[in-house]
Amino acid sequence: MECRVYYEDTDAGGVVYHARYLGFLERARTEFFRMRGVSVGELASRGFVFPVVRLEIDYRAPAVLDDLVWVNTEVLDAGKTSFTMGQQVVRSVDGKLLAAAKVTLVCVGPGMKPKRLPEELVSLLSE
């Protein structure tokens, strides 16, 4: 998924503020599922929510105002109630790796109790 860096994404030094990368990653995960026919909003309406429970991120190089960045997303591992995705933020113009992340999400239902992943997600994550 491609994202443009806007002024609101930058810090006082003119580079993308470290926490803004989390928004890029979140949107890319949502689009990853949408492009494969799974709506995160529809799953939520059925009681399946996926909070992040672990995040590892390495910042390699800065993105700056007006950069176009591409966020690559892949499934690394899937269990019965959780899954882990690998994500890389790359500057579109030169392919430079800006950040690499490993994100683990768990499926929860009402009361934030862990629950089994829905079948359509199990199928998608195992592809």
CA 53, CA 27: separation in Å to the nearest integer? 17
The 10s digit of each residue's pLDDT in 56-100 is 999 999 999 999 999 999 999 999 999 999 999 999 999 999 999
> E strands along the chain, which residues?
2-4, 52-59, 68-78, 82-91, 97-106
CA 82, CA 46: separation in Å to the nearest integer? 17
* Full-model pTM: 0.92
- pLDDT value at 124 more than 90: no
- pLDDT value at 12 more than 90: no
pLDDT of residue 87: 98
pLDDT of residue 126: 86
The 10s digit of each residue's pLDDT in 88-117 is 999 999 999 999 999 999 999 988 999 999
Q: Which residues are catalytic?
A: 11
- Domains with residue ranges and CATH for the chain: 2-114 (3.10.129.10)
